[in-house]
Structure 1
Amino acid sequence: MKYSLFLATLLSGGLLHADVKLPAVFSDHLVLQRDKPVAVWGTADAGEAVTVTFGGQSKQATAGADGAWKVALDALKASAEPTELKVKGKNEVVFKDILVGEVWVCSGQSNMEWTVDKAVNPEQEIPAAHHPKIRLFSVPKAVANEPLKDIAQRPSWQVCSPDTVKSFSAVGYFFGRELNKALDVPIGLINTSWGGTRAEAWTSKPALEAVPSCNAIITAWDEFLKTYNLEKAKADYETATKATKEKIEKIKAENAKPGATQQPVPGAPRPFENQQTTQHRPAVLFNGMVAPIVPYTVKGAIWYQGESNQQRAVQYQTLMPTLIADWRKQWGDELSFYIVQLAGFGNGRTWPQPVGAADTWAELQWAQLQTALRVKKSGVAVANDIGEEKDIHPRNKQEVGRRLALQALVKDYKKKDYQPNGISGGPIFGGASVTGNKIVVSWSNVGGGLAARDGGELKGFIIAGEDKVWKPAKARVVGKQIHVSSEEVKNPVAVRYAWTAWCPEANLINKEGFPASLFRSDKWELSTEGVDSPFAAPKPVVAPAPAPAVPAAKPAEKEAPKALPKAA
């Protein structure tokens, strides 16, 4: 009896009442997307009436049996006038200093996560970052087996300032700064990125399951985890770590001897990862770091990722479009999507490599270009000219952000006058035809014409005949085409450009100054063809020797896949 009276008291006193609540992506200082219906959603008591008020609009909804409610504000005009967003049910929630402009998601792995304080000239960039019309939101790292409805840590939107920008995505910030400068409207940037992660982790499980080559990733993980022994994995890791540390100390000791030839010192072992909970598993980052911000209304996404998928580059030609289609479905909107093509990088090899050697980095760059060409409302920012041979994280994020912004400014915002000839990027391979002993290459995105960056001869082209033996080639501009030939290849059938991870000599640009993407005219097998499992390595594909008298080139040693589960 006493218990029943106590329970009745609780109920009548409202102590079990569920206040109106919105997800963490709503806070003071946020930016709402202009020119689209704006989603506002949250939870309340089942059946509770909720009213959302903003900018003279008032929209109502009733919470369902599960407590969820959602409204759509009518499309808003851009405004830098701070306004309150009010949400009222049995209680009232008020968000202050709300602006209306352009909102973009910034996602990928470490090169997107890379912060402003680690980019070029942080001592100049950070103090100058007083941009009250730019707002920043960072999604904390989180792994989840099912899609989350909210972010547990509940971060807040931040006004861009020297204090807030230094730890924000450099590519995201420089992209947003360029948009703010060109459009003169508020910019909201949502950073959801995690270094070393793979595209499949950022894609929902149903989307992966619907595509055979992507579902193969799920199948491979299921099979791997059936026999995964955590204790054995830890023991193997400790043994391998001890051996690596001993090797490092030995090399350092040898290098310290007078007159010793300096040997490269291996990097320190990575921390142990439990593969049952790792962030590399399919869909877990979509669940933990994308789902909680859906369906927050945005214009589109910028994407810098691919390094961790290079061992399955051909699969990436399907995986990346799958991710884009998935995100568009989740948001219920055909979001614009702009990709950074991987920058030039030595990829742990000794350069130069044999001409035409298999190259997973180049194959991934090609997959990124194919995605941009095949998927509508997308594009690619080529960065092969601003990479660093010894560092997978090139510091010039300013130029990367600028090139991404130009994609959006020309394609989304129709700012064709922002760039000469309305060009948003470099020359794109348009086709090749054989004429006698040369191959004629056609291009799109030529702009004011084709040229060599340094004003000299074009470099970075290779050519091959039916024997698939690649040779360095001479190339010259003829109008809006390039003629490629080699005295060593009398009957050419295929041409490639910049087809190596590290190709600093590649110098083709348009006269607007943008670098050309790598390309290939052939359809010969690539080293990552048919590799769909994250636990498998590419097979070497090496060009045959031109004649028996010439010794066969030794296949380039394939780099072991980075951070793959069976290395744990």
Structure 2
Amino acid sequence: MKRLLLTLAALGTAFTLQAKITLPVLFSDNMVLQQQSDARFWGTASAGKKVTIRPSWSKHPVTTTADREGHWQTTVPTPEAGGPYTIELSDGEALKINNVLIGEVWFCSGQSNMEMPMGGFRNQPVEGATEVIVGAKASTPIRICTVQRATARTPQESCSARWLENTPDAVAASSATAYYFARYLEQRLDIPVGIIVTCWGGTPVEAWMDRPAMEAFPEFDLSFLDRNDKINHPSHQPTMLYNAMIAPLIPYTIKGFLWYQGEENRNRPAQYQRLMPAFVEMLRKNWGQGTLPFYYVQIAPYKYGVPDLVGGSALLREAQMRNLDEIPASGMVVTLDIGNKTCIHPARKAQVGQRLAWLALYNDYGIRGFEPNAPIYESMSVEGNRALLTFRTGKSSLAPLGDELAGFEVAGADRVFHPAKAWIDGRKGVLIVSSEEVPTPVAVRYAFRNYAEASLFNTSGIPASSFRTDDWELPVK
């Protein structure tokens, strides 16, 4: 028996010594690497083995050595956008990655509105998607990598995912929001774009955060992470999605983050406002690429059982709007004009992807001549029975001039709100709100209900967020 155990041990050692290079799933045929960067490569090989990387765009190989546990990591300088290229890795035995593009890589995450595929959900189509799917060509330099659903108590090193070319099947299964973003970016910049999509419908932001980040929020009980018993609704529990669906992707070199989530946290708006800056700080810290841009989508209007409920999901939209001033290098897409009263998944995903792309094009690629940011309420003053509101509009201004704008309410000291007339004073650069029922305005609200329709925009066609000038307590549901 002793001799048998020694023989098995010797065989195990031999297998270890003969281990081949293994790579994370992100390093595969059809991948996209971030252009003009020191792109991170990592994997495993035999302990102490020298690993050589030879990209076809360079005459200079990169070498590194696996540590005692067989892990290795290095960086490979990438050129300007282009391709396709090949990458050969060797520790004495060659491994080749084919059809590699160099371009822009964006990380895309969230819940069902990010997850919703171009092919739509059951009975819920994506507007205009069929034409895009049918017209998809593999030669178009867009690549899609979708991470499969999984949960874990501890951070994982691997996940299930693979890079796909821009074929009709791949496009139909891709996140519509992320794909429209990539398509718009590729068309405007004329360079390859890769999207890494990791999302799960109906999940809260805390499920996408790591344990160190969550430990700053004592209201969450994390003791289940140290046990082995069954977890109820694991995709809803803190850290479980980060561990399985984000951790394996780090530290793949990317350009920035896209985020579309919030519906699952709508009944906890104040907490959500605190969680989001911590979530973004965690992403940036763990990726270790500095202050990467973070662009997110404000949730769209939807009935949530009571369409006219004042407050409700509008409080979550308010928290998201406030996050703009709390998260550096961030931008928010407002979707107040594309909501659907009876469907939580708006069909107009092209507009969402386009507005995300506008933020990136303006902030990260130097394209000007338009204003991608939504008008944000700034201050209120009173002249007689009129409330005069100012907005942060960047290089744009409020629109449409001359129209009476719907969705406004005004209240006096009694805190009773009445429907109000609202219009833009172009000469003064203010929005005027007034009601005959309120002689002295104290507070104004706009579209501050579960479901509302937009009437206020900037001159680039970006809708203003719902807002209120008061801080009076309101029901969340």
Tell me if both proteins adopt one fold, taking TM over 0.5 as the criterion: yes
Aligned counterparts of 1:222 and 1:49: Cα–Cα separation in 2: 41
Residues 456 and 65 of structure 1: CA distance in aligned 2, closer, same or farther (over 3 Å): same
- What residue in structure 2 maps to residue 523 of structure 1? 471
Aligned counterparts of 2:88 and 2:379: Cα–Cα separation in 1: 56
- What residue in structure 2 maps to residue 86 of structure 1? 88
- Is 2:293 aligned against 1:336? yes
Shift of 1:87: 1.8
> Which one of 111, 114, 120 corresponds to residue 112 of structure 1?
114
AA matched with 2:295: Y
- What residue in structure 1 maps to residue 450 of structure 2? 501
Larger C-alpha radius of gyration, 1 or 2?
1
Shift of 1:4: 7.3
Shift of 1:289: 0.2
- What residue in structure 1 maps to residue 73 of structure 2? 70
Identity of aligned residues (%): 39
- What residue in structure 1 maps to residue 166 of structure 2? 160
Aligned counterparts of 1:496 and 1:41: Cα–Cα separation in 2: 52
Shift of 1:11: 6.6
Shift of 1:517: 1.1
Aligned counterparts of 2:272 and 2:8: Cα–Cα separation in 1: 57
Q: Is the 8 A contact 1:373 1:379 kept in 2?
A: no
Q: Which moves more between the two structures, 2-11 or 39-48? A: 2-11
- What residue in structure 2 maps to residue 438 of structure 1? 386
| Secondary structure, counterpart of 2:410 in structure 1 | strand
Please list the CA deviations of residues 228-264 of structure 1 after superposition, one character each: whole Å capped at 9, or x if unmatched: xx9xxxxxxxxxxxxxxxxxxxxxxxxxxxxxxxxxx
Unpaired stretches in structure 2, ≥5 consecutive residues? 121-125
Aligned counterparts of 1:395 and 1:172: Cα–Cα separation in 2: 14
Residues 492 and 63 of structure 1: CA distance in aligned 2, closer, same or farther (over 3 Å): same
| Secondary structure, counterpart of 1:373 in structure 2 | coil
Aligned counterparts of 1:167 and 1:12: Cα–Cα separation in 2: 43
- What residue in structure 1 maps to residue 276 of structure 2? 320
Residues 222 and 469 of structure 1: CA distance in aligned 2, closer, same or farther (over 3 Å): farther
AA matched with 1:390: T
Please list the CA deviations of residues 400-428 of structure 1 after superposition, one character each: whole Å capped at 9, or x if unmatched: 11011001100111111xxxx43113322
Residues 15 and 209 of structure 1: CA distance in aligned 2, closer, same or farther (over 3 Å): closer
| Secondary structure, counterpart of 1:317 in structure 2 | helix
Residues 90 and 12 of structure 1: CA distance in aligned 2, closer, same or farther (over 3 Å): farther
Aligned counterparts of 2:473 and 2:382: Cα–Cα separation in 1: 21
Shift of 1:36: 2.4
Aligned counterparts of 1:358 and 1:386: Cα–Cα separation in 2: 19
- What residue in structure 1 maps to residue 134 of structure 2? 127
- What residue in structure 1 maps to residue 61 of structure 2? 58
Equivalent runs, 1:549-568 vs 2, <5 Å: 558=477
The alignment of Structure 1 onto Structure 2 pairs a total of residues equal to 464
Residues 344 and 9 of structure 1: CA distance in aligned 2, closer, same or farther (over 3 Å): closer
- Is 2:364 aligned against 1:407? no
Q: Is the 8 A contact 2:35 2:103 kept in 1?
A: yes
Shift of 1:478: 1.1
| Secondary structure, counterpart of 2:325 in structure 1 | helix
Aligned counterparts of 2:4 and 2:403: Cα–Cα separation in 1: 90
Aligned counterparts of 1:400 and 1:188: Cα–Cα separation in 2: 18
Q: Is the 8 A contact 2:50 2:65 kept in 1?
A: yes
Shift of 1:385: 0.6
Aligned counterparts of 1:430 and 1:452: Cα–Cα separation in 2: 19
Please list the CA deviations of residues 247-286 of structure 1 after superposition, one character each: whole Å capped at 9, or x if unmatched: xxxxxxxxxxxxxxxxxxxxxxxxxxx7535210001000
Q: Cα RMSD between the aligned structures?
A: 2.4
| Secondary structure, counterpart of 1:73 in structure 2 | strand
- Is 2:326 aligned against 1:374? yes
Unpaired stretches in structure 1, ≥5 consecutive residues? 231-273, 528-537, 539-557, 559-568
- What residue in structure 1 maps to residue 218 of structure 2? 215
Q: Is the 8 A contact 2:400 2:424 kept in 1?
A: no
- What residue in structure 2 maps to residue 177 of structure 1? 183
- What residue in structure 1 maps to residue 244 of structure 2? 288
Shift of 1:7: 4.8
Equivalent runs, 1:254-293 vs 2, <5 Å: 275-276=231-232, 278-293=234-249
Q: Is the 8 A contact 1:209 1:218 kept in 2?
A: no
Q: Is the 8 A contact 2:331 2:373 kept in 1?
A: no
Aligned counterparts of 2:364 and 2:16: Cα–Cα separation in 1: 50
AA matched with 2:266: Q
Aligned counterparts of 1:137 and 1:498: Cα–Cα separation in 2: 37
| Secondary structure, counterpart of 1:78 in structure 2 | coil
Q: TM-score, normalised by structure 1?
A: 0.77
Please list the CA deviations of residues 287-317 of structure 1 after superposition, one character each: whole Å capped at 9, or x if unmatched: 0000010000001111111000000011111
Residues 4 and 478 of structure 1: CA distance in aligned 2, closer, same or farther (over 3 Å): closer
- Is 2:201 aligned against 1:195? yes
Shift of 1:14: 4.8
- What residue in structure 2 maps to residue 474 of structure 1? 421
Shift of 1:90: 3.8
Q: Is the 8 A contact 2:107 2:254 kept in 1?
A: yes
- Is 2:150 aligned against 1:142? yes
Aligned counterparts of 2:15 and 2:114: Cα–Cα separation in 1: 46
Aligned counterparts of 1:473 and 1:20: Cα–Cα separation in 2: 68
